[in-house]
């Protein structure tokens, strides 16, 4: 059975309309009957249908043509099925009406009820795809790209504005966010838009390096400082002198190293391992961590003075599951990228596959999404990716994580219900049947509330 859809039946013959409506309701659809063009348009304005079934020949009557054109204007995603009394299917009318008034299917009388229901079900499925594709287009229109950061999310746009404002300064920047949220993209963007852009940029991951190795990597060493130090070696602070150094996972830095880093940040001095000669450097530091650094400070696992020195400017990146509107944009970007890297371009991806990807948790954030898209492109044996191409952990996942919501204090119960229904509808990609199930209400109740709250 097709998913629940709202069907508007337009016709002068009440008996035929009721019979058709009864059959469609038996299939689980919601139906309404309109007996004239004006009544049909009034119904569409009140509640957008998924499918319109009309018993007139709209290509042969001015009123019918007007109905189709106006229906498409009021409900752009609607699909129209025409049951014609002509002896043969109408074909010329499809072109005559123009693309803005395209008809999904013409059926000639006498029409087999089962055939009509199958056509209507197909039209309802197409209407759903229309909604999904329009949502993708609207997201693409809101797309914002900056130094590899692709987003349509308001918070991420504010992050980009912050990056532009602080890039010109000498402030040390602390970036907070889960693994895979794009912390190094932000660090590179700060460097590229700063007066230091023509100077060196380097990055080092502090996680997994012991104190001695990390000290040597950052500050360098002199010959004979330790076993294996056969020559003098510059550290990253000297290598990037005048430029930018990105300290990733600074929260994992050993406490003794934190004190040495603080000294460098405060006065620009470094002391290579095994040397007594203090050297002066001018380096802008951008640091990042996936850990709750304030909690670490309270637990005496991270120096509070270093935290305040690093936190001259803070940027917090939200996880991908809290900015799901970015997922379709990232999918499109990663598809193009993967096609070029693996020399295997694809024609695109189906809306249902995008919906499944959008509903996934993405604990690894954009990095995990990119890995999944790469895998799909490489393993697919057809030009357009579909649900069957999704990895099992995505295709079989039933975990849906709701994005964090703003405070609801001060809202009426009706306003809260409207927000909750709207968010759940977005989460299911416009699938009204699944929305009703998730909300624990009947499909008819959901349709009524959608109409009441103007969410059709």
CA dist 47 and 31 (Å) reads 11
What are the residues whose beta carbons fall under 8 Å from the beta carbon of 314, sequence distance 6 or more? 173, 174, 175, 176
Would you write out the chain's pLDDT as a tens digit for each of its 456 residues? Answer: 456 789 999 875 656 788 888 888 888 888 999 888 888 999 999 888 999 998 754 444 445 677 888 888 899 899 999 887 654 444 434 444 454 557 888 888 777 888 888 899 899 988 888 887 777 676 666 666 888 898 888 899 999 999 999 999 999 999 999 999 999 999 999 999 999 999 999 999 999 888 999 999 999 998 888 888 889 999 999 999 999 999 999 999 999 999 999 999 999 999 999 998 999 999 999 999 999 999 999 999 999 999 999 999 999 999 999 998 899 889 989 999 999 999 998 888 988 898 899 989 999 999 999 999 999 999 999 889 999 999 988 886 644 444 444 445 445 676 677 778 877 887 776 778 778 877 878 777 887 788 777 676
CA dist 140 and 142 (Å) reads 5
Cα–Cα separations (whole angstroms), residue 455 to 47, 48, 429, 433, 445? 9, 9, 13, 15, 13
CA dist 357 and 325 (Å) reads 11
By three-state DSSP, how is residue 289 classified? Answer: strand
pTM for the complete prediction?
Answer: 0.64
The string of pLDDT tens digits covering residues 398-426 is 444 444 444 454 456 766 777 788 778 87
Please count the other Cβ atoms lying within 10 Å of the Cβ belonging to residue 155: 12
Into which CATH architecture does domain 6-141 fall? Answer: 3-Layer(aba) Sandwich (3.40)
Q: Which of 3, 51, 6, 54 is nearest to 30 (CA)?
A: 6
Q: Confirm if 93 and 60 have CB atoms less than 8 A apart.
A: yes
Domain definitions of the chain by residue range: 6-141, 154-317, 321-395, 413-452
Phi/psi at 203 (5° precision): -130, 145
What are the residues whose beta carbons fall under 8 Å from the beta carbon of 149, sequence distance 6 or more? 156, 159, 160, 182, 185, 186, 189
CATH code of the domain occupying 413-452? 1.10.10
User: Which residues on neighbouring strands pair with residue 313, listed in sequence order?
Assistant: 173
Q: Which CATH class is domain 321-395?
A: mainly alpha
Residues 64, 69, 70, CA angle at the centre, nearest 5°?
A: 95
Burial of 208: CB neighbours in 10 Å, binned 0-12, 13-18, 19+:
exposed
The string of pLDDT tens digits covering residues 287-300 is 999 999 999 999 99
CA dist 149 and 152 (Å) reads 10
DSSP β-ladder status, 233-234 and 220-221 = antiparallel
Q: Where are the alpha helices (DSSP H) in 27-153?
A: 37-46, 62-74, 92-96, 113-141
Domains 6-141 and 321-395 share a fold: no
The DSSP string of 361-384 is: --TTHHHHHHHHHHHHHHH-SSSE
CA dist 26 and 18 (Å) reads 12
Would residue 405 be called left, alpha or beta, if left means φ above 0 and alpha means ψ between -120 and 50 degrees?
Answer: beta
Edge-to-edge strand list for the sheet holding 105-108: 30-34, 6-10, 51-54, 79-84, 105-108
How far does the chain reach from its first CA to its final CA, in angstroms? 22
Q: Which of 453, 410, 402 is nearest to 428 (CA)?
A: 402
DSSP3 helix / strand / coil % (the chain, rounded to 5): 50, 15, 35
CA dist 298 and 296 (Å) reads 5
CA dist 145 and 147 (Å) reads 7
Q: Which listed CATH number (3.40.50.10860, 3.30.70.1350, 3.30.70.100, 3.40.50.300) goes with 154-317? A: 3.40.50.300
């Amino acid at each position: 059975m097709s998913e629940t859809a709202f069907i508007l039946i337009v016709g002068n013959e009440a008996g035929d309309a009721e019979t058709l409506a009864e059959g469609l309701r038996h299939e689980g659809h919601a139906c309404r009957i309109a007996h004239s063009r004006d009544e049909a348009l009034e119904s569409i304005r009140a509640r957008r249908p998924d499918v319109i079934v009309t018993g007139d020949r709209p290509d042969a009557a001015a009123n019918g043509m007007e109905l189709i054109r106006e229906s498409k204007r009021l409900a752009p995603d609607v699909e129209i099925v025409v049951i014609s009394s002509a002896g043969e299917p109408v074909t010329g009318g499809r072109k005559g009406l123009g693309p803005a008034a395209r008809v999904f299917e013409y059926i000639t009388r006498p029409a087999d009820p089962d055939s009509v229901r199958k056509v209507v079900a197909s039209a309802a499925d197409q209407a759903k795809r229309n909604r999904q594709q329009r949502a993708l287009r609207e997201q693409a229109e809101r797309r914002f790209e900056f130094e590899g950061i692709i987003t349509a999310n308001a918070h991420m746009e504010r992050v980009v504005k912050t990056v532009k404002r602080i890039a010109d300064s000498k402030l040390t920047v602390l970036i907070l966010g889960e693994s895979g949220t794009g912390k190094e993209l932000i660090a590179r963007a700060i460097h590229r838009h700063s007066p230091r852009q023509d100077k060196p940029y380097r990055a080092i991951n502090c996680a997994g390096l012991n104190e001695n190795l990390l000290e040597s990597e950052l500050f360098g060493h002199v010959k004979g400082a330790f076993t294996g130090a056969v020559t003098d070696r510059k550290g990253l602070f000297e290598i990037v002198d005048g430029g930018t150094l990105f300290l990733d996972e600074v929260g994992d830095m050993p406490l003794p190293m934190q004190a040495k880093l603080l000294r460098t940040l405060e006065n620009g001095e470094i002391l290579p391992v095994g040397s007594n000669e203090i050297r002066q450097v001018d380096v802008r530091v951008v640091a990042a961590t996936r850990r709750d650094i304030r909690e670490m400070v309270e637990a005496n696992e991270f120096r509070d003075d270093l935290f305040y020195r690093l936190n001259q400017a803070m940027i917090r990146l939200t996880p991908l599951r809290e900015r799901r509107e970015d997922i379709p944009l990232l999918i499109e970007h990663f598809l193009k990228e993967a096609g070029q890297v693996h020399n295997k371009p694809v024609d695109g991806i189906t809306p249902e596959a995008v919906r499944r990807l959008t509903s996934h948790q993405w604990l690894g954030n954009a990095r995990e999404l990119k890995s999944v898209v790469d895998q799909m492109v490489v393993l697919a044996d057809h030009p357009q990716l579909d649900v069957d191409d999704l990895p099992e952990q995505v295709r079989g996942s039933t975990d849906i994580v709701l994005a964090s919501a703003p405070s609801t204090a001060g809202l009426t119960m009706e306003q809260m219900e409207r927000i909750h229904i709207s968010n759940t509808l977005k989460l299911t990609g416009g699938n009204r049947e699944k929305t009703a199930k998730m909300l624990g209400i009947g499909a008819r109740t959901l349709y009524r509330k959608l109409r009441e709250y103007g969410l059709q």
